[in-house]
Amino acid sequence: MYEKLTETYQSELSHSGVDGSRLANRLHELSQIGCTDEGGSYRISFSKEEQQAKDLVKKWMEEAGLKVSQDGAGNVIGRLEGTSSSAVIMSGSHVDSVPNGGHFDGPLGVLSALEVAQAWKDTGYKPEKSYEVVVFTDEEGARFESGLTGSQAMTGAFNESKKKTLTDSDGRSFEDILAENGLSFATIKEAKRDFSSIEAFVEVHIEQGKRLEKENLPVGVVQGIAGPSWVDIRFKGAAGHAGNTPMDDRQDALIATGRFIAEVEKLPPKISPSAVATVGKLHVKPNGINVIPGEVQLTVDIRDIHEDTRDQLREEVFSKAKQIASERHLEVEVKEIMSTPPVKVNDTMQQKAARAMKDTLHTEPYFLPSGAGHDAMVIGEKTEIAMLFTRSKDGISHNPAEWSSLNDCVQTVHVLKKLLEDLCSPS
Residue 378, number of CB atoms within 10 A of its CB: 27
Phi and psi dihedrals of 127, rounded to 5? Answer: -70, 145
Residue stretches of the annotated binding site: 94, 105, 140, 205, 398
- Buried b / exposed e over 219-257, threshold 16 CB at 10 Å, is bbbbbbbbbbbbbebbbbbbbbeeeebeeeebbbbbbbb
Binding-site residues for Zn(2+), in ranges, read 94, 105, 140, 205, 398
Please choose, from the candidates 194, 184, 174, 201, the residue with its C-alpha nearest in 3D space to the C-alpha of residue 74: 184
| Spatial CB neighbours of 51, under 8 Å, sequence gap ≥ 6 | 74, 181
* Residue 152 CA: distances (Å) to CA of 148, 187, 228: 6, 13, 17
Which DSSP state fits 1? -
Per-residue DSSP letters for 39-67? Answer: S-B---TTSHHHHHHHHHHHHHHHHTT-E
